[in-house]
Every structure is written in C-alpha cells, then in structure tokens.
Chain A
Amino acid sequence: MTQERPSEEKPYRRLETQSVLQQIAFRHGLEAMEASENGNLAWVTSGFPVEIPIAMNLGVVYPEQAGAIIGAQKIGPEVSNIAEDLGYSQELCSYARVSIGSTEKPEEVPMGSLPTPQILLACNNICGTVLKWYDAISEMTGAPVFLLDTPPIEKQQLPHNQEYVRRGVERLIEFIGSNFNRKLEEDRIREVAELSSKATRLWIRALEACKTKPSPLNCADRFLTMAPVVSSRGTEHCVEFYESFVSEVEERVKNGIGAIRDEKIRLLWDNIPPWHTLRFFNILASRGVVFPADTYTHAWTGNMVGVDTSSILDQVVGTYSKVYLNMGLDAKVDKMCQLIKDYDLDGFVMFSVRSCKRYSLGQLVSKEIVTERTGVPGVIIEGDMVDSRVYNAAQIETRVDALLEMLM
C-alpha cells in the first residue's frame, strides 16, 4: 500500500490516505453548508461531546479546525486584524480572533470562514476562553450559546462534580430539543456512540503504532489526519477513513518504513502546532528528528460505548470531564512522562503558545519536572498557532539546535 512518491529526495514520506482527507474536508464543508441552510448547524468546540448534537441530527463544524486552516494558509494576521478592528485585543486567543474576523468578513476568508450557525455549543474542558469566544460569535450571529460546564478536577472526579456535569449533559439535550423541536432517540445515540468509539479506537491504534522504530508517523502527519476524529467522529465516513489510515500505518510498521527516511532522534511535541509553519517538522526531519508522540493529538482518546442512553451519558460525563487539560498540571506532567516512556523518546519540545493560556501556563514548571522524572532534556519555544506575527523562526531554531546538540 505504501508507495514511494516521486519526491524521493524529501526527508519525509507522504501518506497515501492524506489525499482522502481533502475529499472528507470537501464533503464535510458541503454538509455544513446544507445544514446551515436548513437551519441545523451547530458550531462546536473540540472538546465538546459532539455525539449528542450528531445523534440529534444537527450538522456540526469546528471553529478551531477552521482556525487551523486559516493558519495553514498563512492569512492568520490579516484575519486577526479584522477582529482587532472590532476591538478584540491581539493578546486574545488567535483561534477566537480569526473566528471572529472570518465571521465579520467571510468574503475575505474563502477557506476558513464557516457557514452561519444556528446554535453554539461550548465545553470548557479545554479552556475557559471558548465560552467568551462563543459569546462574541453569538452577539454577531444571534445564535444562542450553550455551555457544558465541566469544572476542573484533581486526581478523581468527585460525585458532586459528576452529578453537576451529568445535569449539564441533560440540559444540553433539553436545549437542543427545545431549539430544534426534537428528541434524543436511544437507537441513534447508541449508533453514534458506537461509531465515535470505533473511530477513536482506530485513531489510538494509529497513535500507538508510533511506538515502533522507525515511527510510521511524524507530528505533521498526525496533526493533519486528526481532522476527522475531531470533526466527524460519530459518522460512518470517519470510521471508513481511519480503517484505511490504520491499514497504511500498520503496513509501514510491518515493512519497517518510517515517517522520515533517517530516524535518529525521537522527540515529544507538547501543545498545538504552529499551523502556519508545519514545515518546522519537515525541516527537522531532514536532520533525522521525528516526533512519534505529542500531547495534542492524544487528547481524542475517549470511549463512549454504553448499553442505553443513560449509560452512554455517564460515559460522556466521565470522558469529557477527564480530558487531561481539565485535570491540572500533574495530569499533564504524568501524560508527558508516560508518552516519553512508552514511545522511548529522547527529549521533548514544548511550544509555548501565547494564545493558549490553559495549555501553556505551567510549561516552565512542567519542563523541569518532566526532565527530573524521565531524565530526558526538553526545550521551550514560544510563538502562536495561527498568528505568525509572534513566531520568531530564528529564535526557535537556535533553541531547538541547543536541544539537538545535547542529543546528537
């Protein structure tokens, strides 16, 4: 299945299934437009229990993903400027800024502006910013906001926290029900939950395949192929994509084919990637550096299977509350140490994202702890995922060089 591309001289190998992604994205875009025209479109945060709106037959789109597309097109600064002209500070989340900017002037953002939402669904398990961002979009579009509040937990989810989130999930079903005059059918939620879990299991299989040497996937591969598990989990076509993706990944493993041609150093990536400069990973690939694991794409690993609506909702409560970003510094450090051990990594790179305070504040401390616990060195580089104005490539290169010198 895996075939060498003509660009043999490139230090990395392109995935065959990557081309299918464009078809999925195109299809997803058309479905979203249709849903919006039919008055059925929800904008959803990436950590939202999307199984519920999908099971209630709403179309869903992810503004964070749209932000990534805007970043990848390198138009982040221009689209941010539109939001900044409306009074939103440049110090705010760049996903939010480009979302506000592209909502204000969609004609200036042909790829990356989303169809008009009828409802805005936010879950604060990934950060507190999402609520304020969706409130701003609500003011602009008139779509109502529903917040699923998942208060951060330490170590374990206490019963009162569980009960509160459970009630929030029930209120979500009532909210969608009353806004769109429909009910959550048990057969449908079971089907969606099953599909969602199946896609997630396949995704995890692909991630875990990277434990082998050479790693069949690099960071950029995962950042691109994570799109369906973020945007389409709970659908048939999402499962189909990951079946063929896993097949390609496992074929690579079987044949000892790595994501990069000459794997020498294995590193962990922490945080959202700089979407505007994904070639960062390819440049490092030419020096034999691969990233077999990262904290970002490992966030979509929950399981949703249950025998009935009630047990599925219990799974929803647990899975979406226990996103590690919602469990504090200790959980994140544990996660990093575990990945370094399981994937046999030589070091780590922490991307300090100015936009993302929940993800980034604490990195200076966790870097020390991770090194202390694992014995591997790490480096912190600073920038932004979408706003390339605050990405200093030369400074980042110097820092990464210093890390590599230690490891070479």
Chain B
Amino acid sequence: MNYEGVIEQSSVGLKELVESGEEIIGYIYPHIPLELFMAHGFTPSLIRALPGKASGFEESLQTFACSYIRNLYSQRANGQFLTLAGLLFPGNTCDALQNLGDVWKVRFPDDRVFRLTYPVTRYSQDDSTTKFLTEELRILSETISNTFNRPFLSESYDRAVELVQDFRNSAQFLYSARVVNPKIIPYTEVARFVRTFLTAPTISSVSAVKDAASTVRGTADELGLVDTIETVQQAIKSGNYSGVKLPDDLGTPRIAIAGGMVEPQAIATLVNDMPDISDSFIVLDLLSFGFKTVFTESPSKSENPFLAMAQSVLSAPGEPTHEGLSYRMNAMKELLSNLSIQGLIVCEQSFCDPDQFESPSIERAASKLGVKTVRMPLDPELSDRGRIETRIQTFVETLE
C-alpha cells in the first residue's frame, strides 16, 4: 500500500469518531498530555503534514517557512481539515510553529486556537520547569472548561491514564522487540499502530497494539527473547544500558532513523516501496512521532493531575527545541553503541531550524562511534522521492 493509502486507512477511524459525534481537538506538537483532553471529554488527534498539499500557504507564509508548517497551513486553507472543536499550538518550541499559531488566529478567526507554552529549560536542577508547565496545563484545562463548558473529570482522567499507559507499554515492547529481532514484526506495522493511536487514541486503537504486543511476546517467548526485550525496554527508559546483552546472531545491517517531526509511517512505506529491500534493516526510529512519543513516561493517577502530566511531558526524550545538546548526543551515543546500531539515517525537514542545527552534531557524534550516517533532506510532500529512495538504498547497500 502506498503512503497515501496508509493515510486514508488511518484516517478512517477518526472519520468514524467524528460521524458518531465525538469531538476532536487537534494538536501539532507531539508532546502533549493526551490525558488532559480526554479528561474534558475530547479526543485529541495529531494533525500531520500530508503528501500532496504543496500549495495554499502563499498568501500568509513565505517560502522559507519550514515545509511542515507550510503543509499544515495549506491543508487548512484548502479546506482539508476535518471539523475540529479546537486546535492546540505549541509555544516556545520553534519559531515557525510559534508564528504559525499567530497567523492562524488571524486567517482562520472562527477556529478555536489554544496554546500550550513549553519550558525550554530541561536541566534547571530545581522544580521551576515542572512548576511552569504544571501551571500552563492548569490554565489550558481551565480555558477548555470555560470555552466548552466541559469540566475536567477525574474519572475520565484516570481512564485516560490507563489507556495511554496501555498503549505506551505495548508500543515500547514492540519497539524493544524489534531492537532484539527486527524481523519479529515489520517496522511498518509498528509505525502504523503508533500512527493510528495518535490519530485516534481509542480503546480499539489501543487493543490493536496490545494484541500485536501479545502476539510478538508469544513469538519472543518461543525464541527465548522475552527477558532480553524487557531488559532493552528498561534500558531505553532509564538510559542505563549496563544490563543489555543482545543476541550474538543479530542480522545486518542495523540502522536507526534520527530526526524530528518526520512521520515514521512515511519512512516505512518509502522503504517498503523499494524493490528487493525489507524494512527489517530499520532497528528503530528516534523520531518525535514515534520513539519520543512512545518512550514518554505516563502520568500517575495522582491528586494533582496537572503536576503528574507536566512530569510526564517533561520525561519525553529530549527534542532539539530543548536545551541540552550534549545530553541528547550522549544519550544517542549510548543507545547507538549499546544497541549495536551500524548506520544512522538523519532526516531533516527543509527550513526546519531544530532539525538542521542538530544534524551536524548527530553526524559527528555517530562518526566518533564509527556509525555511518546519511543525511536525508526531505519535506512532507516527499517531493524528491526518487532521490530519497536512491540515497537510502545506496546507504543500506554500503552497510551490507
């Protein structure tokens, strides 16, 4: 199935929800507390860049706006958004998204636009960062409550915590299983589960990933790999890889995909469309809409849900929009060396400051470990698809 087909399929669940009267709040930046929206009775849905939406932005954004925001704006300008109750923009993540939120409010005054502003500080050695985000979440909740007359319900919050936790546990297991044995489940399938969940975090989307995790667990059990997989899962979560010992007979090549707000499913289908190549060379991705979402800690059902959600959001693996380049590079080096990664495909969206600033550092860090890299400039339209495919194919061949 091509990428457009995959998108169409994963949107079906969302369309059905809308038709059944569910109200959707869209969001753009991956690290949001899904539980907060669910506690107010809304379904949060990740709004993504789509292929084939290359124009429509020109009246409001210059061509040097990042390809991601141009794509989002074009979708909205062309009337291709589903009916949303509201749309959440991030604040303080990158300049392009910051300004897009402002432009959006002017151009689409009937849209209900909310903003969640994030702290960039990650290593303050005190609780100022958590306190700031906690208050931001409380204010957001109050705004939603006042706007829609829908209060924050503790029971709904508790159910949401369980649902999201179930998803994360299962998805983390699948990610970890592929690190140990990439053939145990295709990367495409894992990417599809994550995509479907982020599009519509419902009981059925969680059931699908739980079922898959259960099946993979069964297979892993037969292969005697369950303990190793669980060790890898814990190691990735804690950043401590001392207990990890991967099997000796790992297949090659073993490649990871690095980058930011690039759709894992886009990469997966791109690879699967290539002749004579399977996606089993992809051991894991480190992308915002994949790994970084999956390996975020879930909030607890605490007395202060806003604090719990803030702690959860801040536990996500670091983005280039945060402080701490050296922490991120060290974490990545640990992961690459301990998970026997041989190659790294570094995706960078055109005109994306965070991606393009981080890529040279990633390249240098990987090079110090002897991990080969290839940089992959791309846009959500995959407008240069032929070249991208050739680069990936050549890179894989050099590692075989």
Task: Report if A and B associate in a common complex.
Answer: yes
Q: Is the C-beta of B305 less than 8 angstroms from some C-beta in chain A?
A: no
Q: Known contacts A128-B93, A151-B132, A168-B128; is A358 also within 8 Å of B98 by CB? A: yes
Q: Interface 1/0s, chain A 166-190, versus B by CB < 8 A? A: 0110010000000000000000000
Given A87-B363, A131-B323, also A151-B118 (CB < 8 A): yes
B residues less than 8 Å from A88 (CB atoms) = 356-357, 360
Q: Enumerate chain A residues within 8 angstroms of B354, measured Cβ to Cβ.
A: 132
Whether A171 touches B124, Cβ cut-off 8 Å, given contacts A92-B353, A365-B106, A369-B106, is: yes
A251 at the interface (CB under 8 A from B): no
- Residues A362 and B99 in contact, CB atoms below 8 Å apart: yes
Whether A151 and B92, one on each chain, are in contact in the complex, defined by CB atoms closer than 8 angstroms, is yes
1/0 contact string of B79-101 vs chain A (CB within 8 Å): 00000000000011111101110
Q: Is the CB–CB distance between B361 and A365 below 8 Å?
A: no
Q: A145-B323, A357-B65 are known contacts. Are A132 and B106 too (CB-CB below 8 A)? A: no
Q: Which chain A residue shows the least CB distance to B123?
A: A147
Q: Which residues of A contact B121 (CB under 8 A)?
A: 147, 149, 168
Interface residues of A in 380-403 (CB under 8 A from B): 382
Q: Which of B62, B64, B100, B118 contacts A91 (CB 8 A)?
A: B64
Residues of B within 8 A of A407 (CB): none
Is A138 part of the binding interface, using a Cβ–Cβ cutoff of 8 Å? yes
Closest CB of chain B to A23's CB: distance in Å?
Answer: 36
The verdict on A136 contacting chain B, using a C-beta distance below 8 Å, is yes
- B126 interface residue, CB < 8 Å from A? yes
Which residue, A136, A149, A369, has most C-beta atoms of chain B within 10 A? A149
- Residue pair B119, A164 in contact (C-beta under 8 Å): yes
Chain A, interface size category, equals 35 or more
Is the pair B356, A92 in contact by a Cβ cutoff of 8 Å? yes
A-B contact count (CB 8 A): 153
A211 CA / B94 CA spacing, docked (Å): 36
Does A138 contact B325, Cβ atoms closer than 8 Å? Answer: yes
Bound-state Cα–Cα, A330 to B128, Å: 28
Q: Write the chain B residue with the least CB distance to A364.
A: B60
Beyond A139-B325, A151-B92, is A328–B102 a contact (Cβ under 8 Å)? yes
Given A91-B350, A151-B92, A171-B124: A357 in contact with B131 (beta carbons within 8 A)? no
Residue B360 contacts which of A86, A138, A358 (CB distance < 8 angstroms)?
A86
Question: Do residues B320 and A357 form an inter-chain contact, with CB atoms below 8 A?
Answer: no
Q: In the assembly, what is the distance between CA of A64 and CA of B157, in Å?
A: 47
Q: How far is the CB of A249 from chain B (nearest CB, A)?
A: 34
Q: Is the CB of A132 within 8 A of B62?
A: no
Q: A124-B120, A128-B94, A160-B135 are in contact. Are A167 and B128 (CB under 8 A)?
A: yes
Is B359 among interface residues, defined by CB-CB distance under 8 A? yes
Given the known inter-chain contacts A132-B357, A132-B358, please indicate yes or no for A357 contacting B95, CB distance below 8 A. Answer: yes
Q: Which of B62, B66, B107 is A360 in contact with, Cβ under 8 Å?
A: B62
Question: B249 near A: Cβ within 8 Å?
Answer: no
CA distance A161 to B358 in the complex (A): 28
B276 CB within 8 Å of chain A:
no
Residues of B in contact (CB 8 Å), total 57
Residue A296 at the B interface, CB < 8 A?
Answer: no
Q: List B contacts of A99 (CB < 8 A).
A: none
Contacts of B129 in A (CB 8 A): 164
Smallest CB separation, A382 vs chain B (Å)? 7
A30 contacts which chain B residues (CB < 8 A)? none
Q: How far is the CB of B56 from chain A (nearest CB, A)?
A: 13
Chain A residue at minimum C-beta to C-beta distance from B357: A132
Nearest-CB distance from A378 to chain B (Å)? 15
Given A135-B323, A139-B361, 20 additional A-B pairs, CB 8 A: A124-B120, A128-B92, A129-B357, A131-B120, A149-B121, A149-B323, A151-B118, A158-B135, A160-B135, A164-B129, A164-B131, A164-B132, A328-B98, A329-B102, A352-B62, A357-B66, A357-B353, A361-B100, A361-B103, A369-B106
Annotate B268-310 by CB proximity to A: 1 below 8 A, 0 otherwise: 0000000000000000000000000000000000000000000
Task: Name the one of A132, A149, A171, A354 contacting B64, with C-beta atoms under 8 angstroms.
Answer: A354
Q: Please tell me if the beta carbons of A364 and B59 are within 8 angstroms of each other in the complex.
A: yes
Kindly provide the distance from the CB of A366 to the nearest chain B CB, expressed in whole angstroms.
9
User: Is A152's CB under 8 angstroms from B62's CB?
Assistant: no
Question: Once bound together, how far apart are the Cα atoms of A132 and B350, in whole Å?
Answer: 16
Give bound CA distance, A33 to B320, whole Å.
32
Q: Determine the distance from Cα of A145 to Cα of B350 in the docked complex, in whole angstroms.
A: 26
Closest 7 CB pairs of A and B: A87-B360, A329-B102, A160-B135, A132-B357, A135-B325, A361-B99, A358-B95
